[in-house]
Amino acid sequence: MEYAAAVEAFTVHLTQVRRLSPATVRAYRSDLADLGRTLRDGSLASVDLEVLREWLWQATQRGDARSTLARRAAAVRSFFGWAHETELIDVDPSLRLVAPRRSKTLPVVASADGMRELLEAQRIAAESGDPVVLRDHAILELLYAAGIRVSELCGADVDDLDLHRRTIRVLGKGAKERVVPFGGPAAAALGAFLTRARPVLLARAARPTAALFLGARGGRIGPRTVYALVARVLGPVVGSDHVGPHALRHSAATHLLDGGADLRAVQELLGHASLGTTQIYTHVSAERLTAAYRLAHPRA
C-alpha cells in the first residue's frame, strides 16, 4: 500500500474513531507527511526501524526541541501500531524506536495576588461600557474561574451558559462534554457582557450566531483573538511575552490545589483523562511552597 494513502486512512481513523482534536490531527498529519518526504519509494513497506531512526536523527540535526522529537516519535508509533492492527503491515517497525523524553518544564503560573489585581483592573476598565472591553473582562474571568481551554471557550454557545447555577457546558478533547462551575465575579462579568455588550457585537454580524463570545465584527470569536488578549494583559504579570490562555488554566489549577482542593476534583474540573496530567500542578505548588519556605524560615 502507498504510504500517503495509509496516512489519509489513519487521519480518518483519528478524526472519526479516536475523535482527537483538530489540532492533534493536524500535528500527526504534519509529522507523518514529513516522514513521507524521506521515504525511498513512497510505499508503506519501505519503512523500517533504520528509516525511522534516520528521520529522527535528521530532526535532531535541525535543532528540533526534545518535545518535538517526542511528539514525532509518538505520531509514528501510533500510526504504525494502527497499520499493524489493521494488517496493512506484517511487522510494526516503530516498536523499538526510542526518542528523547520530554523535558519536564513547569507551566507558567500567575500569583493569586497578581490575578486579583489583573481582574480588578479589567473590571474597572469595563465600567466604560465599551462592548469589547466588557467581552474581554468576561473572557478573562471565565478562563481563570473555570480553568477551561481556549478551544472550549471559543466553541461555547449562549445556551451552554447557566448564570443561575453558575456553570458552563463545554466540549473538551475527544468530544467529551463536561459541566464546569465558576464563581460570583465571573458570573457578574458574564452577566454584564450578555446584557450590555453581546447585543452590540451581534448587531455587527452578517448573520445571527449562537456563539457565546463574539469578535469585533460579530462572528464567533477565534483563538487568535483570545491569545492576543491574554498575552497583552497577563504577559506583564508573569514577566513573559510568550504567554497564552493556557496560563490562566494553569493558574486556576495551581490556586485550587494551593487552597486545598482534591486532586481528583481538579482533574474532573480540567477534563483531564489521566490523573498524571493533573499531577504537574502538585509540583508547581510544591515549588511555590519551597520558595516561600526559603524566603521566610530563619534556618532555611
Q: Which of 3, 28, 144, 281 is catalytic?
A: 281
Contacts of 112 (CB under 8 A, 6+ apart): 255, 258
Q: Which of 173, 178, 220, 288 is catalytic?
A: 173
| 119 alpha carbon, distance to own chain's centre | 21
Q: Which of 137, 149, 198, 255 is catalytic?
A: 149
Residues 108 and 150: their CA atoms lie apart, in Å, by 16
Cell numbers standing for residue 161: 451558559
Is 104 part of the annotated catalytic residue set? Answer: no
Q: Which of 71, 72, 135, 249 is catalytic?
A: 249
Residues 180 and 269: their CA atoms lie apart, in Å, by 6
Is 272 part of the annotated catalytic residue set? Answer: yes
Is 249 part of the annotated catalytic residue set? Answer: yes
Q: Which of 102, 169, 246, 288 is catalytic?
A: 246
Q: Which DSSP string corresponds to 30-77?
A: HHHHHHHTT-SSSBGGG--HHHHHHHHHHHHHHT--HHHHHHHHHHHH
Contact predicate 155/231, CB 8 Å: no
Is 281 part of the annotated catalytic residue set? Answer: yes
Helix, strand, coil percentages for the chain (3-state, nearest 5): 60, 5, 30
Q: Which of 123, 166, 220, 272 is catalytic?
A: 272
Residues belonging to the active site:
149, 173, 246, 249, 272, 281
